[in-house]
Structure 1
Amino acid sequence: MNLTQSIDKKQTRKEPFPISILSLTVGAFAIGMTEFVIMGLLPNVASDLDVSISTAGQLITMYALGVAIGAPILTILTQRIPQKKLLCLLMILFIIGNGISVLAPNYTILMIARMITALTHGTFFGVGAVIASNLVQPNKRAGAVSIMMAGLTIANIIGVPLGTFIGQHMGWRASFGAIAIMGVIALIGILIFIPQLKQEKPVSLAEQITALAQPKLLLFLLIGALGNASLFTVFTYITPLLEQVTGFAEHSVTWILVLFGCGVTVGNIVGGKLADWKLMPSILGLYFAICIILTIFTFTIYNPITAVVTIFLWGVASFAVMPGLQVRIMSLAQSAPALASTASHSAGNLGNAAGAFIGGWVITHLAITSLPWVGALLVGLGLIIGAAAYIAERKKTVKPQVH
């Protein structure tokens, strides 16, 4: 009887998979929108709050730091809260943060509002990834995580241009108002569709830190950060690269970025399926593909057609690797998967910041045309570390059979 009940339970748990995970996708979409929409609204925010563009740019930097530093701390502090309740609390905090952004009378208040929303970012994705992977059978975990993460990628294609359009026509505050409404929709979806999951026995702070401090786990956090650094070394400066080197007009770049975003979404879904098929070989294979694509981009950047094709393929490969990495990191810290998942977002955001810095250094000291091959070197370094870890792991599992 117990066996039948457990099989029935598994089936019922699997049944709500699409709709319940879609409510996480909506939350991911809203969070992605709030992170990136500010890039298109910087001039509007700067002139309205009477600050320089570079000062307004700090709203992006501080958000990334808020995710990187605040998210693991918040995950540790909230580990005793049931996962569904925690997701609801995070969305409420997200709605409040964006609500404050709408009403912010000055730059300081807007910065505080951005920091509040940044705190929700990493923890939402960390807990969301654990919930998504628990709602499906083990062989579908990466696919489930990729569906949730698709919200972040769709935010880049639809959300950011839409938010920028709203901001330019109705004022930047209206953009944050629209994001707050998206947060309310996500909250309702989580309340209705996410089932109450059995709460795991709370893990002590020492155990969580021990789980996170494993050399192998830290190695994969580094590999993820190197991948993001490679992406942002080139992507941060993709507009001047396409305008100055390839010769595209400013209005054409928007459509190229939409195409990149389509590649990102395709990659995210394909990557989830590949990781469910063969986890480590797919991660290493995709890092190798990114390395090759960026090396080729060094030469294809001079021709409009080849540049666009390369950018699309780069988008596919760059984001195809992410669901697999997320699942790999969670599986390495079984006693603290939410913290590990959150830490991977922190490492990713540090990679983003490092990539933007490295890209700026390359433009100043080398040339803007050097960006793709420097990006290839960074992802190549991640590939070498990953391959070495995989070979060492394979040797360990083969050894007992020899004796």
Structure 2
Amino acid sequence: MTTTAVSKTSPKTRSRHVALAIFSLAMGGFAIGTTEFTMMGLLKEVEQGLRISTPEAGNLISAYALGVVVGAPVFAALGAKLPRKQLALGLMLFLSIANLSSFIAPDYGTMLISRFASGLPHGAFFGIAAVIASSLVAPTKRGWAISMVMGGLTIANVIGVPVATWLGQAFGWRLLFIVVGVIGLTTSALMWKFVPFEPAPPEASIRRELGALKRIQVWLALLIGIIGFGGFFATYTYIAHTMTSVAGMQEALIPLVVALYGLGMVAGNIVGGRIADKSVMGTIYRVLPAIAVALVAYAVAAHWAWSALVMVFVVGGIGSMLVPPLQTRLLDASPDAPSLASSLNHSALNVANALGAFLGGVVIAWGWGYVAPAIVGSVLAVLGLGVAGISGWLERKKPLAA
């Protein structure tokens, strides 16, 4: 199905084609979200299975995040001259194979390498998926289209992550990687059928894509994500330990906890996409202080099971509201190099992942307790707001190019 063919169909048929294409791309996000976030819910099982400490298990999450950081710009630049559909398909197949390698990894060192490899296609896939989705809708609906693609990742936290967490607890944590491999292969088939083919832009090149790195607003948007979103991951990485050791919940309830977190992420992603279409920077200015307040409230509420569950939903929702405006901001800051700029958002968010997991592990190792990462995260959100203020001030002096 080509874009030309779609344009000749009725508006209703075209709308259905667009919906199926975006759904296919969102399925890729579902696979990625399942492999990324289930590890956090199964952290205790991973520690026992590999006979490692909690901070060492946190390093597996950091290894995945660093894979995203490295893979996003590399794959986006090298794939600049490829048709977007083929690039997305290749990245999803890579993800499936890498997860299957994690299933057979025999020891901690090998698992670190395989988790790093699993993260390599993450950012580039979301980047190219956001570009494809944006190209299928009117400019005034870009935030919505991007949020729908990211919705696959957030829905994974409602369905994929709780189910995979339960399977991991019941039948062994390595089963997670088989589940993700199967989802990835299914996603590839859906994209092959429903995502329209578009030839690579004739002016596309590695040099053109790398030109995005020359723009100060691109770097500031990335820094907002790295710093401001770090607290989200500092909290989520150790959520299983917080719920069991601080809130006093049974381990069997952890799938419910991650499902609530996921429901919050779904709601936040949808709201963030809608309000980003009205004001990108305005959304960022409002969400970052809300994250700071929510994380402090979470640190207090985590001492009681009922209030901990409420704040798990709230933190997931408010944190996820930041993703669509950041993605849109990067597209606005580098319109002639959209693939790399869009991919770099996920590099930034996974630097935040690595930073959050690391800092959370540090304060836990210092003996500050499992609620301390949330306090660290609150400080990071305030610092991210400061970076956003600098970005807005520079834009008022020199507006972004059309």
In the superposition, the TM-score normalised over structure 2's length comes to 0.86
Equivalent pair of 2:32/2:122 in contact (CA under 8 Å) = yes
User: CA shift at 1:346, angstroms?
Assistant: 0.9
Equivalent pair of 2:41/2:239 in contact (CA under 8 Å) = no
104-113 vs 17-26, greater mean Cα deviation: 104-113
Give the structure 2 partner of residue 217 of structure 1.
218
Give the structure 1 partner of residue 270 of structure 2.
269
Q: Distance in 2 between matches of 1:335 and 1:318?
A: 29
Q: What letter corresponds to residue 385 of structure 2 in structure 1?
A: L
Q: Secondary structure at the match of 2:159?
A: helix
Q: Distance in 1 between matches of 2:163 and 2:94?
A: 23
User: CA shift at 1:70, angstroms?
Assistant: 2.3
Q: Secondary structure at the match of 1:277?
A: coil
Task: Show CA shifts across 1:36-69 (max 9, x none).
Answer: 3344556666776x65456665543322211111
Task: Show CA shifts across 1:221-263 (max 9, x none).
Answer: 0001112212122222333334444444444454233212111
Give the structure 1 partner of residue 381 of structure 2.
379
Give the structure 2 partner of residue 390 of structure 1.
392
Q: Distance in 2 between matches of 1:280 and 1:39?
A: 31
Unaligned runs of 5+ in 1: 398-403
Equivalent pair of 2:281/2:392 in contact (CA under 8 Å) = yes
Give the structure 1 partner of residue 37 of structure 2.
36
Aligned residues: 392
Give yes or no for the alignment of 1:64 onto 2:62.
no
Q: What letter corresponds to residue 395 of structure 2 in structure 1?
A: E
Q: What letter corresponds to residue 220 of structure 1 in structure 2?
A: A
> Percent of aligned pairs with the same residue?
39
User: CA shift at 1:151, angstroms?
Assistant: 1.3
Equivalent pair of 2:163/2:255 in contact (CA under 8 Å) = no
Higher share of residues assigned helix: 1
Question: How do 1:241-390 residues align onto structure 2 when only pairs under 5 Å count?
Answer: 241-365=242-366, 367-368=368-369, 369-390=371-392
- Report the structure number with the largest CA radius of gyration: 1
Distance 1:117 1:202, change over 3 A: farther
Give the structure 2 partner of residue 400 of structure 1.
none
Distance 1:229 1:281, change over 3 A: same
Question: How do 1:97-116 residues align onto structure 2 when only pairs under 5 Å count?
Answer: 97-104=98-105, 111-116=112-117
Equivalent pair of 1:228/1:351 in contact (CA under 8 Å) = yes
Q: Distance in 1 between matches of 2:374 and 2:172?
A: 36
Distance 1:115 1:334, change over 3 A: same
Distance 1:361 1:100, change over 3 A: closer
204-213 vs 267-276, greater mean Cα deviation: 204-213
User: CA shift at 1:79, angstroms?
Assistant: 1.2
Unaligned runs of 5+ in 2: none
Give the structure 1 partner of residue 83 of structure 2.
82
Give the structure 2 partner of residue 401 of structure 1.
none
User: CA shift at 1:218, angstroms?
Assistant: 0.3
User: CA shift at 1:100, angstroms?
Assistant: 3.5
User: CA shift at 1:147, angstroms?
Assistant: 1.0
Q: Distance in 2 between matches of 1:112 and 1:366?
A: 29
Equivalent pair of 1:43/1:53 in contact (CA under 8 Å) = no
Note the aligned Cα RMSD (angstroms).
2.9
Q: Distance in 2 between matches of 1:46 and 1:304?
A: 24
